[in-house]
């Protein structure tokens, strides 16, 4: 039965999980994002689809022409475009998630005061954090599907494990979005926000999108492997190039930990910001 | 009103930020159907008190209950009882007028079926029917305020909280807004209003709490406050900035009370005209003079020694 009384709805949450900070309505945030998306945000989302595709054609085919074939650890030989495609997919999942969870969130906190309006209703901070992060996750999913629609006809995917790149992209987007939102909730100036851009570009260039980390000395390799983008690229690459082993679970675990920390921290920060 | 059920009750309520005390041990009760106002200058602790009631700010000490519930224990439930109109509009700029009303209802968990007819009713109430498909950014200040009020009513709250509802609006927009709020009051909605405009307080509030520096200075109906803390009439005179202070001691003996402000002198008396006449007889001829009825501004001046708007 549908109860259409705000108080009765709120009362029904008594004794439930995280009562007071979670109302079980994170999905209404998605409903809001979808409306905002229809109104105007679709252009920004669309540009995120073209980014990896443009990189793929420029680097994969342009530069790939000079580089030739790449031998893999498992003995297979693939084209340079096929080698970098998973890296680009992982990166676009990251970029979409980061854009949504940093600049968009910053704007909503500082200028639109949207979270303030949400938290003056019976929604809780966990609903807001989960809802906003889920939108980034949907975006990651859409990018992954779109990218697949380009790379499969281009002949860059030759095994069925590659389907797993789609849920991987969702996981990656989820991880980056939760940490991105957590970091943003601590920032209050544009200068601080620029730090995010400063960190993102080198991570993109050096995390093994375009060449294997083995070109670096050991200590640097260790550092880069600890970064989330290398974890993301490895996860997607292992699937698209069919290098599947139990080791993949470590990457998955990495993101699960990242998500848990990000969501918990974000909800705590939102509470501190708007419900002191 | 006095025998109505108590909706909000605060006892020795305190809020401190480090060394700064924003709310300094206040007690008050708000009854069902009442229109209750917090009057005071900026920084008096009005908004802080409102946020504690709305369960978006925790208190340092003391007790508060809203419909018998502690906001720190039952935050979401209390928020479901309230409609909140914050000082600064926080409408969703990415959405249209109609979408703003819809999604706000969804935040409370209400169904589409419930919200849709509600939207029609509220658009009509806020006089925004023609603007329903317009993005919020394109609205005037007065329209935004009306939409914020309409939005707060989506969940059919028992108490509507308005923090400085007409600050920043032009006179015409203020009067439209007052009219809307008056209608709500007639419908029996309990209103909680903060304001630093005395005319607003006089128009809208049944009962007022005058606040300054986190404390309650007085509490009564607007008319009651004026009766207790001021005379019936006020004579405002100007002798020119240099002479104001010179003539003040002489004027002091002629009336009940006197306030010397930088630009003018206020003389409190039961009959302003006859006092002005008396002044002339003693050879005191002010450059300008004005007789008016006492207002809440005078009450505030008496209670705190300061004017409401600096």
B235-257, pLDDT tens digit by residue? 999 988 778 878 888 888 888 88
Closest residue in chain B to residue A21, using alpha carbons only: B76
Residue in A1, A3, A6 to test binding to B, most B beta-carbons within 10 Å: A6
CATH 3.30.70.920-classified regions of chain B: 231-293
The better pLDDT of the pair B261, A17 is held by B261
3-state SS class at B193? strand
Average pLDDT over residues B77-85: 94
Average pLDDT over residues B43-65: 93
- Over its length of 276 residues, how does chain A's per-residue pLDDT go in tens digits? 567 888 888 888 888 877 778 888 999 999 999 998 888 767 777 777 888 889 898 988 888 888 888 887 777 888 899 989 999 999 988 988 888 888 888 988 888 889 999 999 999 888 988 898 888 888 888 888 888 898 888 888 878 888 899 999 999 999 999 999 999 999 989 888 889 888 888 898 888 888 888 888 889 898 999 999 999 999 999 998 888 889 899 999 999 999 999 989 998 888 888 777
In the prediction, which pLDDT does A270 show?
A: 84
CB contact A122 to B (< 8 Å):
yes
Q: Inter-chain contact B76–A2, Cβ cutoff 8 Å?
A: no
First to last CA, chain B: 35
Pairing status of strand B265-269 against strand B233-238: antiparallel
Closest residue in chain A to residue B100, using alpha carbons only: A32
The partner residue sitting opposite B92, judged by closest CB among A6, A25, A112, is: A112
Closest residue in chain A to residue B113, using alpha carbons only: A4
In 3D space, the residue among A237, A177, A248 whose CA is nearest the CA of residue A207 turns out to be A237
Please, what is the angle between helix A218-226 and helix A228-240, to 10°? 90
pLDDT confidence bin for B306, thresholds 50/70/90: confident
> How many contacts (CB atoms, under 8 Å) link A and B?
116
Closest residue in chain A to residue B73, using alpha carbons only: A20
Which of chain A's residues have a Cβ under 8 Å away from the Cβ of B114? 2, 4
pLDDT over 60 (residue B185): yes
In 3D space, the residue among B221, B40, B94, B70 whose CA is nearest the CA of residue A113 turns out to be B94
The partner residue sitting opposite A36, judged by closest CB among B76, B94, B109, is: B94
Going from the C-alpha of A4 to that of each of A9, A168, B94, B171, the distances in angstroms are 7, 39, 26, 38
A6 to chain B nearest CA, in Å? 5
Fold of B231-293: Alpha-Beta Plaits (3.30.70)
CB contact B110 to A (< 8 Å):
yes
In the prediction, which pLDDT does A273 show?
A: 83
pLDDT over 80 (residue B70): yes
Domain count, chain A: 1
A123 to chain B nearest CA, in Å? 6
- As beta bridge partners, residue B15 has B23
Average pLDDT over residues B137-150: 93
In 3D space, the residue among A169, A239, A228, A225 whose CA is nearest the CA of residue A199 turns out to be A228
pLDDT over 60 (residue B310): no
H helix runs in chain B, sequence order: 46-53, 75-81, 97-107, 112-125, 141-152, 171-186, 198-204, 222-229, 243-252, 272-281, 296-304
CB contact B58 to A (< 8 Å):
yes
Tokens of A134: 């889920």
pLDDT over 90 (residue B2): no
A37 to chain B nearest CA, in Å? 8
The better pLDDT of the pair B282, B36 is held by B36
Q: Under CATH, which number does the domain B6-227 receive? A: 3.40.50.300
Q: Is residue A10 part of a domain?
A: no
In the prediction, which pLDDT does B260 show?
A: 87
In the prediction, which pLDDT does B21 show?
A: 93
pLDDT confidence bin for B37, thresholds 50/70/90: very high
3-state SS class at B159? strand
Tokens of A233: 């690229």
Burial class from Cβ neighbours inside 10 Å (0-12, 13-18, 19+) for residue B195 reads buried
B154-172, pLDDT tens digit by residue? 999 999 999 999 888 888 8
A121 to chain B nearest CA, in Å? 5
Question: In this structure, what DSSP letter does residue B292 have?
Answer: E
Distance CA B295, CA B266 (A): 12
In the prediction, which pLDDT does B292 show?
A: 93
Q: Inter-chain contact A120–B54, Cβ cutoff 8 Å?
A: yes
Closest residue in chain B to residue A35, using alpha carbons only: B95
User: Which 124-153 residues of chain B touch chain A by CB within 8 A?
Assistant: 135
Which of chain B's residues have a Cβ under 8 Å away from the Cβ of A112? 90, 92-94
Residues in Cβ contact with A100 at an 8 Å cutoff, skipping those fewer than 6 apart: A132, A135, A136, A139, A177, A180
pLDDT over 70 (residue B309): no
Q: Is residue A5 part of a domain?
A: no
CB contact B116 to A (< 8 Å):
no
CB contact B55 to A (< 8 Å):
yes
In the prediction, which pLDDT does B308 show?
A: 66
């Amino acid at each position: 039965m549908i109860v259409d009384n705000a108080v009765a709805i709120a009362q029904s949450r008594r004794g439930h999980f995280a009562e007071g900070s979670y109302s079980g309505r994170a999905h209404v945030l998605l409903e809001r994002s979808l409306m905002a998306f229809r109104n105007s945000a679709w252009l920004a989302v669309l540009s995120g689809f073209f980014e990896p595709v443009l990189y793929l054609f420029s680097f994969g085919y342009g530069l790939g022409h000079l580089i030739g074939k790449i031998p893999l650890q498992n003995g297979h030989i693939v084209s340079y475009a096929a080698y970098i495609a998973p890296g680009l997919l992982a990166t676009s999942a990251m970029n979409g998630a980061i854009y949504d969870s940093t600049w968009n969130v910053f704007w909503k906190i500082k200028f639109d005061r949207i979270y303030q309006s949400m938290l003056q209703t019976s929604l809780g901070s966990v609903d807001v954090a989960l809802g906003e992060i889920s939108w980034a996750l949907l975006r990651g999913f859409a990018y992954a599907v779109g990218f697949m629609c380009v790379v499969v006809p281009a002949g860059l995917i030759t095994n069925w494990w590659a389907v797993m790149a789609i849920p991987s992209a969702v996981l990656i987007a989820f991880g980056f979005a939760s940490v991105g939102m957590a970091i943003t909730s601590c920032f209050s100036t544009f200068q601080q926000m620029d730090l995010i851009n400063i960190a993102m570009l080198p991570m993109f260039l050096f995390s093994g999108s375009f060449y294997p980390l083995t070109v670096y000395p050991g200590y640097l390799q260790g550092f880069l492997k600890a970064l989330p983008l290398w974890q993301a690229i490895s996860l997607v690459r292992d699937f698209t190039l069919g290098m599947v082993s139990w080791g993949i679970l470590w990457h998955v675990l990495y993101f699960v930990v990242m998500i848990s920390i990000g969501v918990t921290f974000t909800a705590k920060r939102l509470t501190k910001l708007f419900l002191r | 009103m006095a025998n109505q059920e108590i909706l909000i009750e605060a006892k020795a309520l305190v809020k401190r930020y480090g060394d700064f005390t924003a709310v300094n041990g206040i007690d008050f009760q708000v009854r069902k159907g009442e229109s209750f106002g917090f009057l005071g200058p900026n920084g008096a602790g009005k908004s802080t008190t409102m946020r504690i009631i709305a369960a978006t700010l925790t208190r340092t000490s003391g007790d508060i209950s809203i419909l018998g519930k502690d906001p720190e224990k039952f935050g979401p439930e209390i928020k479901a009882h309230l409609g909140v109109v914050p000082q600064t509009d926080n409408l969703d700029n990415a959405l249209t007028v109609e979408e703003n009303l819809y999604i706000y209802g969804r935040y409370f968990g209400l169904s589409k079926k419930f919200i849709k007819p509600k939207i029609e009713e509220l658009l009509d109430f806020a006089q925004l029917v023609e603007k329903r498909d317009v993005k919020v950014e394109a609205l005037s200040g007065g329209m935004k305020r009306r939409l914020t009020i309409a939005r707060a009513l989506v969940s059919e709250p028992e108490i509507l909280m308005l923090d400085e509802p007409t600050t920043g609006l032009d006179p015409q927009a203020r009067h439209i807004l007052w009219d809307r709020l008056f209608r709500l009051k007639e419908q029996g909605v309990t209103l909680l209003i903060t304001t630093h405009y005395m005319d607003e307080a006089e128009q809208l509030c049944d009962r007022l709490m005058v606040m300054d520096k986190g404390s309650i200075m007085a509490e009564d109906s607007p008319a009651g406050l004026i009766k207790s803390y001021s005379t019936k009439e006020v004579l405002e005179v100007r002798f020119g900035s240099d002479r104001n202070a010179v003539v003040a001691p002489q004027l002091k003996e002629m009336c009940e009370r006197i306030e010397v402000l930088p630009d003018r002198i206020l003389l409190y008396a039961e009959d302003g005209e006859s006092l002005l006449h008396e002044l002339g007889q003693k050879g005191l001829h002010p450059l300008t003079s004005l007789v008016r009825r006492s207002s809440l501004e005078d009450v505030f001046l008496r209670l705190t020694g300061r004017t409401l708007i600096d």
